[in-house]
Chain A
Amino acid sequence: MKTFRLLRASLQGTSWFSRGGLQELKNRDQLWLLPLGGAGILVAIGSFIMMLIRNYQGILALGLQAGRPEALFFFSLLGSTIFIFLITIPFGISLLYFSRDTRMLIPLPLKDFEIVAAKTLHLYLFLLPLHLLIFIPAVVVTASNLTVCPLFYINTVIQGIFIPLLPIALGVGFIVLLMKAVNISRHKTAFEVFGMLFGLMMILGFQVLLTRVMASELTGEGQAIFARLLELVNRFIDALPPLKWAAMGFFADGAGYLLLSILTSAGFFVITLLLIHRGFIKGLSARMESQSVSRVRKGKGSTILRQRSITKSLIYREWKILSSNSTFIFEAFGEVLVLPLLLLVFSFVTPGEAREGLDSLLAAIPHPELIIFGLVVLFASINAMASTSLSREGRSFALSLTLPLSSREQMKAKLLFQIVLFFPAYLLNMTILMIILKVPVGAAMFIVPGGFGFIILGFLTGISVDLRRPVLTWSHPQQAVKQNLNVLVSMGLSVVVIGAHAGIAWLLLKAGMGTTMVGFSIALLALFFAALLFPGVIRYAEKSYGGRLEI
């Protein structure tokens, strides 16, 4: 019973949807976030379900042709299993090994099993909606296309509850092995970045595969692929018996399969819990110990003797904050490398013939220099770095307030850091696009200084928003970047700024000015506005650093 009491406390203590969570939102005058977030989630879920239903209809037809009506259930359960297994890993690590309440629970009179079971059930409740999201559309598609027996509906309820137990058990088992093999607390950020990269590679790989299949269908290879697909469906289903039993349990004479699948999922879950709870707390304590043991003891603080200028120190500080966790690293480098990544994916997924057609299309584009200018400016100026610059500091912003630094120095360092981050990427993007679009090198004469101006303008826009209302009391880095409204506001403002420049460029072209002259004019204008706005932002920063922002 203590397990369930613990689970209840854990949900009450950590969820925004608990009474306390709602009260906290109310206290912060942020209850409005709930309907806004709810609407966003509904739209996302709605789109996802529509996409699933369309795919599921195809899989059902394919399964019927292969003589395997259970194919749709098999693949939806497989999809849910893979998703849940993958998501269990980061969330499970966080919940089992890195959540703050573990330190509080260890001294309490609780058995290892009770703690592990409560945390695993918490994980289960967290992941159950994801399973239902993938699974229920399969039920709907099948029920609306085939005649189903009463067992079908019983199985729907049972599989809805039991299937996630299997991937969660596998995921938790994997985590425990991983924690024994690697000291993740030492390499947590690297591990998270690797996980995110792996996820990205999977998405890209899937995209490449889909596009290639579609392209080959267009080129007449469709029939051969379809035959191979049917064979693959059969092999897949037979290769994974627990999911096969679960899928076959939906149809007449499937009661035995249903029982088998329930026993497998529940049995696996209980066995995993029984296996992993032994020594869990001991292992956790050892991990905490290893975390506090000194590792590097060579210099004994020789860094202290190295004197740096204030600006260099502040830029170093910006870098240390950015590299302090995977969320910030991934956000920054994702934004810096977004265009080269897009071009890379594009080059992979576009068939050769289509690329040749594209060349002639690109050759017909008017003013390619200005198009490139606009594109690279767009990618370099619209980002979440400046608009979260103060927010990323979090509670340590208090340190910035107590240091004897003028707001000019703080802003200068933040601006230089932004330039260091985005200007090289801007130049790289410009070079790639100039090669692809075969633009004369001379255009760089205005694209380079113009980009410099726009990067500064983008920074000034973003930082102004963050100076007004930074998110400083975050407990997870996601809140500082991904859930920070400043990002959205600043991106909107940047679009307006770039749009205004684009409008001026269009007017100048209409007035008969040459492409190069228009480019120079826009570059000069951006630099002029940047120089004009900088002192104003410094004055605004003086207020924020001078006591307006309280922490």
Chain B
Amino acid sequence: MIELKNLSKSYQNGKVKAVRHLDLTVKPGDVFGFLGPNGAGKSTTIKMMVGLLQSDNGSIQMNGIDISWDPLGIKKIIGYVPDEPILYDKMRGSAFLAFIADIFEVPGEKREKIKNLAKDFELSDALDDLISSYSHGMKQKLSIIAALLHDPEIFILDEPIVGLDPRSSFLLKEKMRRHAEEGKTVFFSTHVMEVAEKLCDRVGIIHHGRMIAVGPLEELKTQSRNSHDSLEQLFLELTDENV
């Protein structure tokens, strides 16, 4: 469960308001799609959720743990896939995964699962290569495996589909779906409306740092002024500057 209350963040001494009074609840078992135009505040919100940025106001709770009180407690239960993979380039893929597994204290007997994940993402053959030799897609896959290896309660992904080949993209969506079916929470940002449409139980649309729509997709479609067949049309209407 993710609970964001009155969350705000500004840059340059308050001149640029990236996120404004954001309220949001994502229940366990949900796949939540976080949508918005470029610069709307999606990545800033996610970075606050995973501890990369500190909010100016408001609170972030995950499974009842408040990030300002127990940041480590939250980090232990989340798996985070950043928009740009953050990896140690001079490590081999296997060494990096072993490092992350050690940090999350994944016991030896459960580590076979990591190799299976690598197999699923067709990365097994490259595991003993230096990460610096990986393509962007391979780095992205490694980042996803690293985020999943401790079976997180809350899976947070920032633009995860970018750079993935169709098979890996399909596989990731499957993993996200299955994760939610196991009663865990999945929160991801994307620009790809079709992905959000097919995958999400609920979506939220953020624009200029404000949440302008949130709820199940069908509900949002019916609530809008015009009847829309697709999420794309709804998104365009809601984020149209001229309206």
Contact = CB atoms under 8 A, between A and B. Distances in A.
A301 B124 contact: yes
Nearest to B143: A399
Contacts of A440: none
Given A304-B115, A402-B75, A313 B129 contact: no
Nearest to B156: A402
B90 interface: yes
A301 B118 CA distance: 9
Interface in A299-350: 299-310, 312-314, 316-317, 320-321, 323-325
Report the interface size class on chain B.
35 or more
B54 A301 contact: no
Q: Which of B82, B89, B98 has the most CB of A within 10 A?
A: B98
A482 B58 CA distance: 40
Contacts of A144: none
B27 to A, nearest CB: 23
Interface string B113-137: 0110010000011111100011100
B195 to A, nearest CB: 23
Interface string B86-127: 111111111101111111111110011011001000001111
B125 A309 contact: no
Contact of A304 (B90, B97, B105, B126): B97
A314 B128 CA distance: 20
A398 interface: yes
A307 B50 contact: no
Contacts of A403: 75, 100, 103
A360 interface: no
Contacts of A321: 88, 90
Interface stretch (A37-45, A71-79, A287-295, A419-427): A287-295
B103 A547 contact: no
B71 A399 contact: no
A306 B54 contact: no
Contact of A308 (B87, B98, B104, B114): B98
Contact of B108 (A307, A314, A402): A307
Given A304-B94, A405-B103, A297 B128 contact: yes
B212 interface: no
A294 B53 contact: no
A401 B108 contact: no
A404 B90 contact: no
A404 B153 CA distance: 14
Interface string A178-213: 000000000000000000000000000000000000
Interface in B178-215: none
A402 B50 contact: yes
Nearest to B95: A303
Nearest to A317: B99
B155 interface: no
Interface in A378-422: 395-396, 398-399, 401-406
A548 interface: yes
B72 A406 contact: yes
A325 B88 CA distance: 12
Given A313-B103, A320-B91, A304 B76 contact: no
Contacts of B76: 404
A313 B104 CA distance: 11
Given A303-B98, A313-B102, A292 B111 contact: no
Contacts of B29: none
Contacts of B54: 546-548, 550
A9 interface: no
A550 B53 CA distance: 5
Contact of B133 (A293, A298, A313, A316): A293
A403 to B, nearest CB: 5
Q: Which of B105, B126, B128 has the most CB of A within 10 A?
A: B128
A271 interface: no
A314 B98 CA distance: 11
Given A291-B133, A294-B126, 5 more contacts: A301-B127, A305-B112, A307-B102, A320-B95, A403-B100
Complex A-B, nearest 4 residue pairs according to Cβ-Cβ distance, in ascending order: A547-B54, A301-B127, A313-B102, A404-B75
Interface of B: 50-54, 71-73, 75-76, 80, 82, 86-95, 97-108, 111-112, 114-115, 118, 124-129, 133-135
